[in-house]
Structure 1
């Protein structure tokens, strides 16, 4: 690429920019990267609108992990003409089921009662690891420290946003740009089946499964994730009707 592609990186729930730290060194050479803020609103729609309003780029590519992927899809729904490429990592395009929705407020209350750091250590760390292999100690420590830095109020807002998120099946089916779908083979929260479902909606997508990884492939297999993102960024984008009329 002669000019660096604007690239928005969106972290998962209770994750900071640190979740993308293993990728940034190499990505910054080929893309103009910034990490989006997903801490300020209680709905996915409002989070996406805030980002679209504040980003300086008329067009950009977006990569989202987990909750970040959910917000990326909502950005695509709201402003499909602005997004060149979409990368969805360990995420889910479906609305939350009623059974899962019912668990959100009890989880919010539990995290308040025992403390967000303890909640991250006891509940999140085991779920984020692979089914048969726990997270490395450094990765587990990072999950706890990110949760503590963001705090319970952010966990509450993000949990409510996830609970009430819209289904994005139609959004994905309408997108024609390059798509990367990436997941760990042992992800306990967003299994391979979610990503194969998305791949059926997106015939132009590349599906990459990281063998043995859980819910945090950017930490568990950093080089493989970076390689996949760089390849995705190099894919050409097809001209779309009205692009020439958009502000440069």
Structure 2
């Protein structure tokens, strides 16, 4: 992450996905003049995490969320829509959990409780990358980040996942400039999920990124930078999503 110049614009609150930390955004060029705040996911409840997001800054802000971070953002939007001045969503699902997801999260939690956190990291790794076959260095990078997050936070994140609810009603109430980014080869959150999100938010712009997987800030930092710049510019002008300049 890079930022230059004194803060003068809307603050940016950045929320990562499960087993991700601030290093996820290291290649994203955040526009200068904006305070950037990273919110770690350490509470076992989506509502509590949304309250942490809302307490990070005073007044309106632009929210950037990936996967579980975007789900937390949807709840923050439901609770305080007047605070969300702009929204950049990626690699996300606005639907309620499915039965098979509850079962998978319970199984992961049991593995971590048995001291097998490394097995959970390996289990989640393929779904982070296009084709589920990461290059060796990409796999090593993910393992480093996930192990830095650690088993305690991972268990809290699994518990939080189970408290999710359907977010479409909250999204329909959004009136802020919004960009939705989707990797066309995201096996965890496929493009159809993002079409649902973009359709729910009035005027949202959807970008489907070819040959990209789940971790878009690593795989397409240029697209994330461009989307964030468009949202910030529209939010600073207090314009609706329809005023967004299409990203290249």
TM range (shorter): 0.7 to 0.9
Q: Which runs of 5+ in 1 are unaligned?
A: 241-248
- SS of structure 2 residue aligned to 1:156: helix
Query: Counterpart in 1 of 2:139?
Result: 140
Query: Counterpart in 2 of 1:15?
Result: 20
Query: Counterpart in 2 of 1:37?
Result: 40
Alignment CA distance shift 1:202-1:62 (3 Å): same
- SS of structure 1 residue aligned to 2:93: coil
CA contact 2:13–2:53 (8 Å) conserved in 1:
no
Query: Counterpart in 2 of 1:127?
Result: 127
- SS of structure 2 residue aligned to 1:235: helix
Compute the displacement of 1:135 (Å): 2.4
Give matches, 1:93-172, under 5 Å: 93-113=94-114, 115-120=116-121, 122-131=122-131, 134-172=133-171
Q: Which runs of 5+ in 2 are unaligned?
A: 1-6, 241-248
CA contact 1:116–1:147 (8 Å) conserved in 2:
no
Query: Counterpart in 2 of 1:47?
Result: 49
Give CA-to-partner distance per residue, 1:64-115, whole Å, 9 cap, x none.
Answer: 0011000011111111111101111100111101221122111111244463
Q: TM-score, normalised by structure 1?
A: 0.88
Compute the displacement of 1:238 (Å): 4.0
Output the aligned Cα RMSD: 1.9
Give CA-to-partner distance per residue, 1:107-149, whole Å, 9 cap, x none.
Answer: 11124446323421x2111111112x62233332222112212
- SS of structure 1 residue aligned to 2:50: helix
Give matches, 1:161-200, under 5 Å: 161-200=160-199
Q: TM-score, normalised by structure 2?
A: 0.88
| Number of equivalenced pairs | 233
* Matches of 1:124 and 1:102, distance apart in 2: 15
